[in-house]
Amino acid sequence: MPLSPADATTRPLIAVPAEGLADWLQTQDAATRAWLDGTGFAAALGDVRLVPGPDGAPAFAVIGHGTAAARRRTRFGLAAAARLPAGDWHIEGLDGPDLEEAVLAFLLGRYRFTRYKRGPVEGPRLKLPAGADRLAALARGEWLTRDLINTPAADMGPEELEAATQDLATRCGAALAVTKGDGLRDGFPMIHAVGAGSDRAPRLLDLTWGTTGPHLTLVGKGIVFDTGGLDLKPAASMLLMKKDMGGAATVLGLAQMIMELALPVRLRVLIPVAENAVSGRAMRPGDILTSRKGLTVEVNNTDAEGRLVLADALALAAEGAPDLTISMATLTGAARVAVGPDLAPFFTDNDADAAALQTAAATAFDPVWRMPFWQPYEAMIEPAIADLDNAPAGGMAGAITAALFLRRFAPERYVHFDIYGHQPTDAPGRPKGGSGQGARAILAALPGLLDI
């Protein structure tokens, strides 16, 4: 993590709003005013200037906090601070939520995926203000999520995802149980069917932590690579499919946050893991699968596999009678068409839970958007020869029909997130590549959701 040692000598990074620039300049010496005027500094949001001292080395830096309108439009506008020169810095000029956002923006903006880079990657380090340890825990969870998603599928298969989950369990004092082989085929037949076409064995990961408090279950889709199966994706559609385990990566990052912060909950994390590959063993269009719950499913598209593995995991979750269950999955392209890459759409029947999540999302700088479990569309997921259809014809309301499918297997109090798990271009605090969505909003909402 890009954090300064507690005893480090740090340089100031001073945030200046556009509307306060003139007044702030009056508090500075003539040399600083001349330097900033000469560089054209107007306190635009995220604009950084290094101010030299008498020896010519940077004495401090200023960063524009922009106008109120600019701050409303751009999340993490101060993430540009992560581009400062290497060294130790601290933030001045902000307090309250503005300071929290700036710290989180710095930490998230400093993320770099370095696994395949040679040599160290230097950069600035931040001294946390008092009481900001929680923000560092949030950033560490997000960094874990990004690392898992960004790792190519060759190095993040079922075995490697299990190892990453075991590492998290070991670090945080959790327990991990793994089901695979005959136990998976007999107990979780749809997870087994989705992974049958791959030489890399599917499995179910079951992490548990905590002994007191409400029972929270997180379920994350762990498709480590999705070819589409026999309904093969075109090449261009496979380019991002290493991120199809983004739901698993996001719930693992969230679980790390919960455990590091020692929230008073009994946590369970279920991750159905499989590679949707092509071979003579792969499931076929038209196959009928019998789920763990006993409902039969007609496979009308082998590329709609995520809901199959999640269904078996959700059925197991329901058997444990949790107080709240949340699933996260890179599930449908329809969700991206509906809300784009920035928003994390979610589904719930509980108006109070929806309100809690939307309120928390604003404070956590993690936008979410409620979508409907639209009851009239239930008929679309009911084919002629089985209980359920995994890919209704017509192509409309794809995110909603997928969510309705999952609800047939889930516990009563249930929230489903259909996330993207990827940042398509560099943005403040969100470098291009793997990205968690919704985790900080959920974390901020948990005290209200579970009365803790």
- The answer to whether residue 95 scores a pLDDT higher than 80 is yes
CA 83 to chain centre: 23
10 Å CB burial of residue 384 (0-12, 13-18, 19+) is exposed
| Same-domain status, 259 and 363 | yes
Name the domain boundary from 59, 75, 110: 110
| Same-domain status, 273 and 400 | yes
Give pLDDT tens digits for 281-328. 999 999 999 999 999 999 999 999 999 999 999 999 999 999 999 999
| Same-domain status, 99 and 157 | no
| Same-domain status, 197 and 240 | yes
Amino acid at position 115, single letter: R
- The answer to whether residue 1 scores a pLDDT higher than 80 is no
Give pLDDT tens digits for 191-234. 999 999 999 999 999 999 999 999 999 999 999 999 999 999 99
The answer to the question of residue 346 being in a domain is yes
Number of structural domains in the chain: 2
Average pLDDT, the chain: 96
In the chain, the percentage of residues whose pLDDT exceeds 90 is 90
Work out the widest C-alpha separation in the chain, in whole angstroms.
82
| Same-domain status, 235 and 377 | yes
Q: Taking residues 4-8, report their average pLDDT.
A: 75
Annotated catalytic residues are 233, 307
Q: What is the pLDDT of residue 43?
A: 97
Name the domain boundary from 110, 145, 180: 110
The answer to the question of residue 99 being in a domain is yes
CATH number of the domain bearing residue 91 = 3.40.220.10
The answer to the question of residue 234 being in a domain is yes
The answer to the question of residue 6 being in a domain is no
Residue 270 vs residues 143, 368, 392, 445: alpha-carbon distances, Å: 20, 22, 26, 20
Structural domain that includes position 269? 137-450
The answer to the question of residue 122 being in a domain is no
DSSP letters for 304-319? --HHHHHHHHHHHHHH
10 Å CB burial of residue 5 (0-12, 13-18, 19+) is exposed
| Same-domain status, 54 and 162 | no
Name the domain boundary from 110, 127, 159: 110
Distance between CA atoms of 159 and 59, rounded to whole angstroms? Answer: 49
Give pLDDT tens digits for 21-79. 999 999 999 999 999 999 999 999 999 999 999 888 899 999 999 999 999 888 898 89
- The answer to whether residue 119 scores a pLDDT higher than 80 is no
| Same-domain status, 91 and 197 | no
Q: What is the pLDDT of residue 444?
A: 98
Q: Taking residues 86-101, report their average pLDDT.
A: 94
Neighbour count for residue 349 (Cβ, 10 Å): 14
The answer to the question of residue 390 being in a domain is yes
The answer to the question of residue 126 being in a domain is no
The answer to the question of residue 2 being in a domain is no
Distance between CA atoms of 259 and 265, rounded to whole angstroms? Answer: 9
